[in-house]
Amino acid sequence: MSNKNKTLGEFIIENQNDFQYSSGELSRIINSIRLAAKVVNYKVNKAGLVDIVGAVGEQNIQGEDQQKLDVYANEVFIQTLINREIVCGIASEENDDFITIEGSDKSNSNKYVVLMDPLDGSSNIDVNVSVGTIFSVYRRITPLGTPVTLADFLQPGVNQVAAGYVIYGTSTMLVYTTGHGVNGFTLNPAIGTFYLSHPNMRFPENGSIYSVNEGNYRQFPQGVKDYIKYCQMEEEDRPYTSRYIGSLVSDIHRNMIKGGIYLYPTSSKSPKGKLRLLYECNPLAFVVEQAGGKASDGKNRIMELQPTELHQRIPFFCGSKNMVDTLEKFML
């Protein structure tokens, strides 16, 4: 069977042996995310026709205005995972605390926890810009048969067993890794099936795109300012092209295909950084590294950072390896 005819379900079955320690649960988690993504995709594509755009008038734990689609996507992913009784805990960017899956003895015997940003870039929904879902899967560290604790979620990124994202754009794609490379699957909306469209996705070692909100330039650390000037210099391989969508998944997806670096540094407004380590940076760092790229906080490997809180924020730089290496030299 050619790659373009291979469905996500067939791919999961063929690669079942890659899932260490798993007796089918991890495959079922990926399948659940696939199902929830299809439901959310349907709503995203109807956003201009139904009362699903705009804010709900509430804020999430980070103090950000919740969009209607934020709430909807959060509920869909959580309920899909709970209904299938395949995880013992869930943490979402939209929830103050983690969720312990209760209701049966079996729930406490499940091996995995899922962390997610159910709808990244949702503020762009109203203007018809691509948005995404980010997810991360860890094997629990507390004993089977007991309720999950905070420790199950505060694990460094190197402990991830799977991670990925869904991008809802001109086409809907699910991109994920289980530590054996990165593969992308595109949804055929006519029949509701994801097909392998981007096998073995890889970052070019060098790129010509830098992605940063330059409107915050004056608030950036000096090292980031110097790197941006470096990107703009007239040299043999520069200036680089500035491309910034403002949807994290979209920016990183583009840079993985074309080659580039994404920057979200600290600033005077956000001295600890803006992006969440557990819901955004760790899962995307896993994908980026598996695709041959690099993810850093400017000095340290993202996936080696020890989380200290559920909604921890950090600076985030990722993309083509040589570009991130150069950025780190400016941060010394």
Annotated binding site for substrate: 120-123, 213, 244, 262-264, 274
Which amino acid is located at 26 in the chain?
L
CB 295 within 8 A of CB 266: no
Where on the phi/psi map is residue 319: left (φ > 0), alpha (ψ -120 to 50), or beta? left
CB 251 within 8 A of CB 130: no
Distances (CA, A) of 168 to 4, 62, 133, 182, 258: 20, 24, 8, 18, 19
Binding site for Mg(2+), by residue number, is: 93, 117, 119-120, 280
Residue 266, number of CB atoms within 10 A of its CB: 20
Instruction: For residue 166, give the nearest of 234, 99, 235, 76 by alpha carbon.
Output: 76
- What would the two tokens of residue 95 be? 């929830």
Binding site, by residue number, is: 93, 117, 119-123, 213, 244, 262-264, 274, 280
* Residues comprising the chain, all counted: 332
For 240, phi then psi, to 5°, come to: -75, 165
Instruction: For residue 98, give the nearest of 119, 115, 77 by alpha carbon.
Output: 115
Listing DSSP states for 101-124 in one string gives: --SSHHHHH--EEEEEEEEETGGG
3-state helix vs strand vs coil in the chain, percent to 5: 35, 25, 40
Alpha-carbon gap, residue 197 to 195, rounded angstroms: 6
Distances (CA, A) of 211 to 175, 214, 254, 319, 331: 20, 9, 10, 10, 17
Distances (CA, A) of 258 to 73, 261, 317, 320: 29, 10, 17, 10
